[in-house]
Amino acid sequence: MNLAGRGDGFAQFWRERHLCTLTTVRPDGTAHVVPVGATLDPETGIARVITSGGSRKAVLVAQGATKVALCQVDGRRWSTLEGEAVVRREPEQVADAERRYTARYRPPRPNPERVVLEIRVTRVLGNV
């Protein structure tokens, strides 16, 4: 999904420094919602979340809970990206996600267990 057509306001909102929430679904059907830092590439429609490979969110996605929602809110402005997630462990994928994270937030702390949750956006909700 090419999100570039959603306009500059949308792209800018996803470049501003905001914390997000990531929602995955546990095997019992309940929601697992956690705060995360995330980046979005509007041209490719890919959002990325860096995390430890043993984190619950990474384990859930690796076990097949691939339908996720990534949301950020700033006052009355909000955006939710729904999509399909995969776990990426390749060093070049992790390094790319770390560069993107650094550009939006700050350099992440060292973590040799780091993986990337790569989310292919399939639906956008919100008012930006």
Q: Tell me which residue of 87, 83, 85, 81 sits closest to 116, measured CA to CA.
A: 87
pLDDT at res. 86 = 98
pLDDT at res. 2 = 83
Higher pLDDT, 4 or 68: 68
pLDDT at res. 17 = 97
81: Cβ contacts below 8 Å, ≥ 6 apart: 40, 47, 69, 70, 71, 119, 121, 123, 124
Mean pLDDT of 74-89: 98
| Residue 37 Cα distances to 21, 27, 101, 117, angstroms | 8, 24, 7, 11
Q: Convert the pLDDT of each residue in 19-61 to its tens digit.
A: 999 999 999 999 999 999 999 999 999 999 999 999 999 999 9
Question: 3-state class of 117 per DSSP?
Answer: strand
Q: Are 23 and 33 in contact (CB under 8 A)?
A: yes
pLDDT at res. 1 = 81
For the chain, how big is the Rg over CA atoms in Å?
A: 14
pLDDT at res. 22 = 98
Q: Given CA atoms 32, 100, 107, 95 in this order, what sign does their dihedral have?
A: positive
Q: Convert the pLDDT of each residue in 83-116 to its tens digit.
A: 999 999 999 999 999 999 999 999 999 999 999 9
